[in-house]
A and B are shown apart, each in its own frame.
Chain A
Amino acid sequence: MMTPKRPEVDYKTCMACGICVQACPFSCLSLDRFDIDALKKAYPVLISPETCTGCGICRTACPVDSIQMLEQTLIAVN
């Protein structure tokens, strides 16, 4: 089963600027990943996929097009 699209961040091009985080109307993204580079910079990560509507505002806002909206496969647990 496919869910609505969700943002996926390409950390190779992401500049950790936080524009996507602020653009999200539901605060689904947060600057909570610190393991991407040696400087321990805060990178965006989807923290509440259940709230994300897949609207793509974050993708549109990103100045370097580092966000793609991808369909996620729901895996049934139990």
Chain B
Amino acid sequence: MKGYTGKILLVNLSSGDIHDELIPDSIYENFLSGVGLGAYILYNRIPAGADPLGPDNILGFVSGLLTGTPSFVTGRWMAVFKSPLTGGWGDSNCGGTLSPAIKQCGYDGIFFSGISKELVYLYVDNKGAELRSAAHVWGQDAVTAEENLIRENLKKKKPAVAVIGTAGEKVSLISGICNDGGRIAARSGGGAVMGSKRLKAIVLVGSKLIGCQDPQTMKAISQEYASKVRKQNLPAVVSGSFLPLMGKVMGGMKRAAPMDGLISALLLKRWGTIMNNTLGVTSGDSPLKNWGGSVVDYNRSYYKNLNPDRITNVEIKKYHCYSCIIGCGGVVDVSQITHGEFSQTHKPEYETCAAFGGLVMNKDLNEIFYINELLNRAGMDSISAGGTVAFAIECYENGIITKEMTDGLELNWGNAQAIVALLKKMIAREGIGDLLADGVKVASRKLGPQSSLYAVNAGGQEPGMHDSRPDPVLGIHYSADPTPGRHTIGSEQYYDVTHLWEKVSWAPNSGSYVKADENIPSEKVALKSVANSCYKELTDGVGGCMFAMVTGVNHWKLFEWVNAATGWQKTPDEFMVIGKRIQTLRQLFNVKQGIDPMSFKMSSRMAGEPPLLEGPNKGKTVPIEAMMHLHWKAFGWDEQTGIPTQETVTQLGINELCTEKVQ
């Protein structure tokens, strides 16, 4: 075996037909597995103009090429689909134990088409697959339904379950797919697609072995990585109260330079992603007050409550996703602070803390704990939900949403009780919640053009909690990626720690540079964003986690692991061609579905229009259109339209590999 199984499972929910399909080696050699395999299947098989919530959409659950091999931090699964939120390519990934479970059932991916007449879940074990009634768990939140499905299917091996909550059942366009007790592949509306198919869950109980070509070499690489990560431990004297100062220094620096990416493991091991809670506010990384405010508004009296030590103080245990040696996850005891409704919740991620902290001007940490569990169980994306609540507050403050429309809720900045009440309405699609349950773009269209200024989005998707004004490469990815609004693809900061230039011949060396120069469109900046994109597609093709990715290519050795797993002898440059091929195919998917790439351009606020008047991002602007054009050109796509050129399509061999031909 070469790390992959060479087989996918196809389930037609309309007809009930379930069958295997073999995938040739050449597909893995050109697209890897994971997102690449997903792009190959969906590009060829979803017809142009397909309704994302109709039977023609395909929802795939894919594992990674390295998942299940003796490699580290390669256990993420990915949902792939046509996004109902953006109208284009949709994907979203998550950790936990689902990714190896897909492979242990003998598949690299499970793909659903059609719409079921009944409420169903898919059960798969070593012997086969079948659709079973989900009527008894429909209406249950994601955590409860998962517990029940595990209990009723527990024989020898503990099942792995992916499941939608009530938000997905109600086809909220900002709902995701959950696993491992409320972890969530949240972005781009995968939960809505699953709900539209009347598919509540997949339950995986396989125990097949996953082989690779050269396990000893793989283990040697893993042991080297383990020895480095093991040493990354912050001294106990360093507390969370240092972080705001660190952020202030970082935000004020005029120059930047590459750093060793292992520093991220240092911080993640101690706190997890919440290490950015206060650092992000003072550095200018966190968008505040719906992208219209600064640390002058969300000042210390607010952000001190989000000190990550306050969260780890109630952390009762840490956990790792499958195959992870960094371990940013944790469980916190919230029995005393969530109105008695929940006893525990996953340690909230930074994204959730920021979306329901500074973005909505809330300083009540206890309500963030509550919101975290509420959304995890409902299966609603906390980034999009936070962005939508911030939009609603600003509409309320400006008289576009009235008190009558909210059934009496006073949607003022930082009114945590009103925010919780609004979220419950969104999850249940009640009253104003129905209008907001599909994100800011849909809501703004219903409320009228006067609300559009407050609908901060890129291509219909609410952006991640990282500000593009101090990091314009992030803005390029928000606007020019086939999945717009995503903070996980690339940024200047990611690039500087990944050190791609040390292995990839064409990736520019950042060196020491003036930060303000990055806000000026240039071919060098465009090459960085292209390199980020290609490498992220490789990471998503192997099931990798971006937190390992940012430890750098000299530590987390993706290229070397894949060669050892498969027996290939590819150079880093050859791998990056695969990344370029995957990204180009995702872009072609959007073109096929009628998306104008320029329509994904991020909202004007995200580009600093109008410029902020205070704080570390004061006056910073991003000439985003010019940057998108240069990014497309550097990718070999048409500089003006963003459509991949015939020359690039030919160079990448896409017409030879795909049944859907680019004319």
Contact = CB atoms under 8 A, between A and B. Distances in A.
A64 B226 contact: yes
Interface in B53-85: 70-72
Contacts, number: 78
A64 B222 contact: yes
Given A63-B219, A64-B219, A64-B226, A19 B317 contact: no
Given A24-B157, A63-B72, 17 more contacts: A15-B229, A15-B230, A17-B320, A17-B322, A17-B323, A19-B323, A22-B104, A26-B156, A27-B156, A27-B157, A31-B319, A40-B318, A41-B318, A41-B319, A63-B71, A64-B223, A65-B223
Given A16-B327, A34-B317, A42-B317, A26 B70 contact: no
A16 B156 CA distance: 23
A19 B218 CA distance: 14
A61 B320 contact: no
A17 B325 contact: yes
B158 A27 contact: yes
A63 B319 contact: no
Interface in B277-313: none
Interface residues of B, number: 34
A35 B100 CA distance: 27
Interface residues of A, number: 26
Nearest to B218: A63
24 contacts: A15-B325, A16-B320, A17-B72, A17-B320, A18-B320, A18-B321, A24-B157, A25-B207, A39-B269, A39-B318, A40-B316, A40-B317, A40-B318, A41-B317, A41-B318, A41-B320, A42-B320, A57-B209, A61-B70, A62-B70, A63-B218, A63-B219, A63-B223, A63-B226
A57 B158 CA distance: 16
B293 to A, nearest CB: 35
Interface string B101-137: 1001000000000000000000000000000000000
Interface centre among A31, A39, A57, A65 (most CB of B within 10 A): A39
Interface centre among A19, A25, A62 (most CB of B within 10 A): A19
Chain A interface, DSSP helix/strand/loop, else mixed: loop
Interface string A30-53: 010010000111100000000100
Contact of A22 (B97, B229, B316): B97
A62 B68 CA distance: 10
A58 B18 CA distance: 32
A41 B319 CA distance: 6
B315 interface: yes
Nearest to B157: A27
B222 A41 contact: no
| 6 closest Cβ pairs, A-B complex | A63-B222, A25-B207, A63-B70, A15-B325, A27-B158, A41-B318
